Amino acid sequence: MKPVTEQANPKTKDIDLKSAIEIVRLINEEDRTVADSVSKVLDSVAAAIDAIVERLSAGGRLFYIGTGTSGRLGVLDASECPPTFGVSPDTVQGIIAGGYDALHKSVESAEDDPGQAARDMEEAGVGSRDAVVGISASGNTPYTLGALRHAKQIGALVVAVTCNPSSQMAGEADISIAPVVGPEVIAGSSRLKAGTAQKMILNMLSTGAMIRLGLVCGNLMSNLKASNAKLRARARAILAEEAKLEADEAARICEEANNDLRVAIVMARARVSRDEAERLLAAHNHSVRRALDSLN
């Protein structure tokens, strides 16, 4: 029997005869079901977050691995972690079958080689302390399945994100996250609902892990890297809100902190020098909340 992600959707069987507005209404109606599907697997997502945090806290890293749309989503989520949470690019990494070329053009044949996944992981230095999240709509992609089997052999944490609960990947994983999104609007085009579900789950995994690691203060991006004009403006706005400062004073403190928002917040809230703020942050794994709480 075909995986549910490969089956034809009876609700959209005549979509090729529809007008543009009818097409987008059908797509939107199907998309509305995705969040409900994800809501049914939140316990598994939370368990994965806790397990990932345990690995990261012990010096491990988080690797996403997949092919096609799934692989691109993993690379996207990994690439967003350094500017958002101030972590090293090594902390969260994406591995995609076919390498760099697969990010901007189809290299779908790369998904057929399970042995290549192990070679790619070895090249990236994946080890026993790390967490590996395999991403595949069907859960049976040879490359991604090979990645999870290799990760299991070397003692890494193994998480599967798939839309097929009975998949081979789900059976290999320490933790399986498998929302059932049903047949796609276009049969087999898993970049649609399955891709949306995967994106939602990856958002939760990385954001939840970084929050649990203390890299968010309240609901503010306290650890963002102010690496361009937009982010420097955002950092000043966050500092002004968090420390109840006027815009000019927030800008001055940010400059004194060398545009390191973490340092600026601790300087402003604790009324300490830059050197003391940096010392406090280093002592508390660069968590603004924990650095400030240590003074109470």
- Report CA-CA distances (Å) from 106 to 93, 111, 132: 20, 11, 24
Query: Is 113 within 8 Å of 102 (Cβ atoms)?
Result: no
Specify the amino acid at residue 240.
A
**Which has the closest alpha carbon to 62: 95, 38, 86?**
95
- Rounded Cα distance between 136 and 290, Å, is 37
For strands 92-96 and 62-66, give the pairing. Answer: parallel
**pLDDT score for 99:** 82
pLDDT in tens, the chain (296 residues): 667 777 878 888 888 899 999 999 999 999 999 999 999 999 999 999 999 999 999 999 999 999 999 999 999 999 999 999 999 999 999 999 988 777 777 666 667 788 999 999 999 999 999 999 999 999 999 999 999 999 999 999 999 999 999 899 999 999 999 999 988 888 878 889 999 999 999 999 999 999 999 999 889 888 888 889 999 999 999 999 989 999 999 999 999 999 999 999 999 999 999 999 999 999 998 999 999 999 88
CATH architecture of 4-212: 3-Layer(aba) Sandwich (3.40)
**pLDDT score for 227:** 85
Q: Which residues pair with 159 in a beta bridge?
A: 133, 175
Would you call 80 a catalytic residue per the annotation?
yes
Q: What is the CATH number of domain 229-293?
A: 1.10.8.1080
Specify the amino acid at residue 54.
E
Spot the catalytic one: 30, 111, 242, 278.
111
Q: What is the pLDDT of residues 74-105, one digit of tens each?
A: 999 999 999 999 999 999 999 999 887 777 77
Residue-by-residue DSSP string for 52-97: HHHHHHTT--EEEEESHHHHHHHHHHHHHHHHHH---TTTEEEEET
Spot the catalytic one: 22, 29, 30, 80.
80
Would you call 22 a catalytic residue per the annotation?
no
> Taking the domains of the chain in order of start, what are their residue ranges?
4-212, 229-293
**pLDDT score for 230:** 92
Number of CB atoms found within 10 A of residue 265's CB: 28
Query: Is 162 within 8 Å of 136 (Cβ atoms)?
Result: yes
Number of CB atoms found within 10 A of residue 237's CB: 13
- Rounded Cα distance between 274 and 109, Å, is 52
